[in-house]
């Protein structure tokens, strides 16, 4: 008899209560060091627990379906002194049966795959994977899947790849916002002794520059598709069965797996006249023309970004928002400095007010506002309707494939981005959650990896939100609004930019940085920033939340001086009580 040794579950990182999905040993088995004892499965991966010593298994302490944590005993073993376990290994009849069963299962898999292949109907084109829509979700999924060895077709109804984000969303809007920022900053310098005079705006040249930025990016995508041998097919796809699509020109595409990434479209107000002066965000990006008076219907991020652009280009701005605040749902303290900043610049911000009617006349668009019982009318040269976006899930005849779509056009998915039909995935704007390009591209990678047979899951703790307004507003993770709604206990630290050397030197001290902490563990739960470049700065707080960092992790990380990024460190120091850049009375904890 040798020594009795307990074989335990090793460190599992952040995982706890991990499922045992297979037990590979039984009492009496001889095992060598590193030989797998049991297989565990998390959302992300499967892993074997290896034997830390060689010998004879005396007892097995876990079974399939049990949940284990680091340190739990898996089995006990009697160390086999001077026994060469390998040389004593014989294949028992029972073991032989196991091996045979495994081989049969593998053969069955191959037969099933061949059957799936065979069930693809005769089609004009076919591929391992078809992706519908070439936005940030679709092209990312197609490229990742091709990199993993799948034969991929990417179907896109527009001539250019890139979807809303590259063509009529994130990129063109940010190009115009950059132009607006330059105009506003040049004007602001007049107060500090440098005058540039009134800007001369050539809307055509500005539009051409914005279009060039877009073409460069979309052209780059076409090249990336070619390099990866992703076949791009131009057409509007609909499902004809669970295994094939039909295009508007009646060509057909068969597939083993499909990723739906058909995105979303602007929502329209019912009853709005059909007039070129009434536009959605796509029309607003055309700057055709720059109106004297612009009404923005909807005080969400897209409307407010376009208001910034048109205001800098010389339009007088009126914003009408049905709820009582701009950017509904965002922490009110983050919105306040923005509201203060634009209140002096914009003509009017009408909160708690509805558009009750709209009429197009030769001279203008006449709009009827309704605030409670009160009604008033006003005329505008252009109206931007930006009341949200609607998912395209219900425009694909998804029922032909058995895929469920809800009344909002959203397709429900699991963490692997699979719909209710497991070989069909959905990602991006039509898969629910925030309609953001970075969410779409992260989901895309998961869907492509799962489609390629890898273990992958979408389990981001946070998805950052940014309004690229002036000032910018950004937040990530837990918000105070959410914490209050859900009764989550948190602590807050806030650093005002009026005490930041960098903010002062930019002439923009209206912002602040706040961090929210878990009261018991001290970990960062979320944060928000309002001020110049908040959108870039928020990434550090996102990383802190993902890594489970606490205030010391941030405050002890040396940040470059003088930068706006220091404000995150200062907020952490405020929480820790180590801040020297401001005097804060000591808090009792």
Contacts with 37 (C-beta within 8 Å, 6 or more apart), sequence order: 7, 23, 24, 25, 31, 48, 49, 50, 51, 60, 74, 75
Residue 194 CA to its chain's centroid (Å):
41
Closer to ligand FAD at the Cβ: 281 or 462? Answer: 281
Query: Can residue 163 be called a binding residue for ligand FAD (CB under 6 A)?
Result: yes
Q: Which two tokens stand for residue 580?
A: 């020297």
Within positions 433 to 472, which residues make up the interface with ligand FAD, using CB under 6 A? 435-438, 440, 468
By rule CB under 6 A, what count of residues binds ligand FAD?
35
Within positions 74 to 133, which residues make up the interface with ligand FAD, using CB under 6 A? 132-133
Closest CA to 230 of 301, 80, 127: 127
Residues 165, 221, 474, 545: which binds ligand FAD (CB under 6 A)?
Answer: 165
Q: Which x/- pattern over 379-418 shows residues binding ligand FAD (rule: CB under 6 A)?
A: -------------x---x----------------------
Closest CA to 534 of 508, 552, 504: 508
Residues 30, 131, 153, 155: which binds ligand FAD (CB under 6 A)?
Answer: 155
Q: Sort strands 293-297 and 316-320 into parallel, antiparallel or unpaired.
A: parallel
Query: Can residue 135 be called a binding residue for ligand FAD (CB under 6 A)?
Result: yes
Query: Can residue 136 be called a binding residue for ligand FAD (CB under 6 A)?
Result: yes
Minimum CB separation from ligand FAD for residue 136, in Å?
A: 5
Q: Is 44 exposed, middle or buried (0-12, 13-18, 19+ CB in 10 A)?
A: middle
Query: Can residue 173 be called a binding residue for ligand FAD (CB under 6 A)?
Result: yes
Contact 322, 353 (CB under 8 A): yes
Phi-psi region for residue 235, left (φ > 0), alpha (ψ -120 to 50) or beta? left
Residues 42, 126, 218, 281: which binds ligand FAD (CB under 6 A)?
Answer: 281
Cα Rg for the chain, rounded, in angstroms?
29
Contact 163, 135 (CB under 8 A): yes
Count CB atoms within 10 A of the CB of residue 445.
21
Query: Can residue 424 be called a binding residue for ligand FAD (CB under 6 A)?
Result: no
Annotated catalytic residue 561 = yes
Contact 463, 438 (CB under 8 A): yes
Q: Which stretch binds ligand FAD (CB under 6 A): 194-202, 221-229, 429-437, 524-532?
A: 429-437
Closer to ligand FAD at the Cβ: 12 or 132? Answer: 132
Q: Which residues pair with 370 in a beta bridge?
A: 354, 375
Q: Which two tokens stand for residue 69?
A: 């944590």
Closer to ligand FAD at the Cβ: 173 or 419? Answer: 173
Residues 256, 429, 470, 472: which binds ligand FAD (CB under 6 A)?
Answer: 429
Phi-psi region for residue 397, left (φ > 0), alpha (ψ -120 to 50) or beta? left
Minimum CB separation from ligand FAD for residue 243, in Å?
A: 17
Cis ω on the peptide bond leading into residue 471 (within 30° of 0)?
yes
Minimum CB separation from ligand FAD for residue 215, in Å?
A: 15
Closer to ligand FAD at the Cβ: 278 or 396? Answer: 396
Residues 31, 134, 318, 549: which binds ligand FAD (CB under 6 A)?
Answer: 134
Closest CA to 501 of 509, 511, 493: 509
Task: Report how far apart, in Å, the C-alpha atoms of 424 and of each of 95, 269, 542 are.
Answer: 38, 33, 30
Query: Can residue 542 be called a binding residue for ligand FAD (CB under 6 A)?
Result: no
Minimum CB separation from ligand FAD for residue 287, in Å?
A: 13
Closer to ligand FAD at the Cβ: 45 or 399? Answer: 399
Contact 147, 225 (CB under 8 A): no
Closest CA to 285 of 391, 379, 164, 192: 164
Minimum CB separation from ligand FAD for residue 176, in Å?
A: 10
Residues 142, 154, 258, 263: which binds ligand FAD (CB under 6 A)?
Answer: 263
Closer to ligand FAD at the Cβ: 174 or 228? Answer: 174
Residues 7, 77, 137, 538: which binds ligand FAD (CB under 6 A)?
Answer: 137
Within positions 324 to 383, which residues make up the interface with ligand FAD, using CB under 6 A? none
Query: Can residue 302 be called a binding residue for ligand FAD (CB under 6 A)?
Result: yes
Query: Can residue 428 be called a binding residue for ligand FAD (CB under 6 A)?
Result: yes
Please tell me the distance from the alpha carbon of residue 357 to that of residue 271, in angstroms, as a whole number.
8
Contacts with 220 (C-beta within 8 Å, 6 or more apart), sequence order: none
Minimum CB separation from ligand FAD for residue 261, in Å?
A: 5
Q: Which two tokens stand for residue 227?
A: 């390099």
Within positions 468 to 527, which residues make up the interface with ligand FAD, using CB under 6 A? 468
Say which residue the tokens 């680091």 belong to: 70
Query: Can residue 297 be called a binding residue for ligand FAD (CB under 6 A)?
Result: no
Minimum CB separation from ligand FAD for residue 427, in Å?
A: 7
Closer to ligand FAD at the Cβ: 433 or 562? Answer: 433
Say which residue the tokens 């914003």 belong to: 319
Query: Can residue 236 be called a binding residue for ligand FAD (CB under 6 A)?
Result: yes
Contact 24, 39 (CB under 8 A): yes
Give the binding site for ligand FAD (CB under 6 A).
Answer: 132-138, 155-158, 163-165, 169-170, 173, 236-237, 261-264, 281, 302, 392, 396, 428-429, 435-438, 440, 468
The residues carrying an active-site annotation are 561
């Amino acid at each position: 008899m040798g020594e009795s040794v307990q074989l335990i579950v090793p460190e599992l990182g952040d995982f706890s209560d991990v499922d045992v999905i297979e037990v590979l040993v039984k009492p009496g088995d001889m095992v060598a060091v590193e030989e797998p004892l049991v297989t565990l499965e998390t959302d992300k991966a499967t892993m074997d627990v290896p034997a830390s010593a060689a010998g004879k298994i005396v007892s097995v302490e876990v079974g399939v379906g049990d949940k284990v944590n680091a340190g739990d005993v898996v089995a006990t073993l009697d160390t086999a002194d001077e026994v060469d376990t390998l040389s004593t290994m014989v294949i028992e009849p029972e073991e032989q049966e196991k091996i045979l069963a495994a081989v049969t299962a593998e053969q069955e898999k191959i037969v099933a795959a061949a059957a799936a292949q065979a069930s693809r109907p005769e089609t004009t084109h076919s591929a391992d994977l078809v992706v519908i829509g070439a936005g940030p979700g679709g092209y990312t999924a197609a490229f990742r899947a091709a990199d993993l060895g799948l034969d991929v077709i990417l179907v896109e109804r527009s001539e250019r790849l890139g979807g809303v984000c590259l063509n009529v969303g994130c990129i063109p809007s940010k190009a115009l916002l950059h132009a607006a920022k330059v105009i506003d900053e040049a004007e602001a310098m007049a107060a500090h002794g440098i005058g540039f005079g009134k800007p001369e705006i050539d809307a055509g040249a500005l539009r051409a520059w914005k279009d060039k930025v877009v073409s460069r990016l979309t052209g780059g995508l076409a090249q990336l598709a070619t390099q990866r041998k992703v076949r791009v097919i131009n057409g509007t796809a609909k499902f004809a069965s669970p295994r094939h699509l039909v295009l508007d020109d009646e060509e057909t595409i068969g597939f083993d797996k499909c990723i739906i990434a058909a995105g979303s479209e602007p929502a329209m107000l019912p009853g709005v006249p059909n007039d070129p002066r009434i536009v959605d965000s796509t029309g607003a990006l055309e700057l055709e023309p720059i109106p004297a008076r612009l009404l923005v219907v909807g005080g969400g991020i897209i409307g407010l970004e376009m208001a910034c652009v048109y205001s800098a280009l010389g339009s007088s701005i009126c914003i009408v928002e049905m709820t009582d605040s701009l950017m509904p749902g965002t922490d009110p303290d983050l919105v306040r400095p923005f509201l203060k900043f634009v209140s002096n610049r914009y003509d009017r911000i009408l909160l708690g007010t509805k558009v009750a009617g709209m009429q197009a006349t030769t001279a203008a668009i006449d709009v009827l506002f309704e605030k409670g019982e009160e009604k008033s009318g006003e005329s505008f040269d252009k109206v931007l309707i930006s009341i949200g976006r609607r998912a395209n899930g219900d425009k694909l005849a998804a029922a032909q494939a058995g895929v469920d779509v809800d009344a909002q056009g959203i397709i429900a998915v699991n963490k692997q981005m699979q719909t209710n039909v497991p070989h069909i995935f959905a990602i991006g704007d039509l898969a629910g959650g925030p309609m953001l390009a970075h969410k779409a591209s992260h989901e895309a990678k998961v869907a492509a990896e799962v489609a390629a047979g890898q273990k992958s899951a979408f389990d981001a703790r946070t998805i950052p939100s940014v309004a690229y307004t002036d000032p910018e507003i950004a937040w990530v993770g837990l918000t105070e609004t959410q914490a209050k709604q859900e009764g989550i206990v948190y602590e807050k630290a806030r650093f005002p930019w009026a005490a930041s050397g960098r903010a002062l030197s930019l002439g923009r001290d209206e912002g602040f940085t706040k961090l929210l902490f878990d009261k018991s563990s001290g970990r960062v739960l979320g944060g928000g920033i309002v001020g110049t470049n908040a959108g870039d700065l928020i990434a550090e707080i996102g990383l802190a939340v993902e890594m489970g960092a606490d205030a010391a992790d941030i405050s002890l990380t040396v940040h470059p001086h003088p930068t706006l990024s220091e404000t995150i460190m200062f907020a952490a120091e405020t929480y820790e009580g180590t801040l020297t850049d401001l005097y804060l009375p000591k808090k009792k904890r």
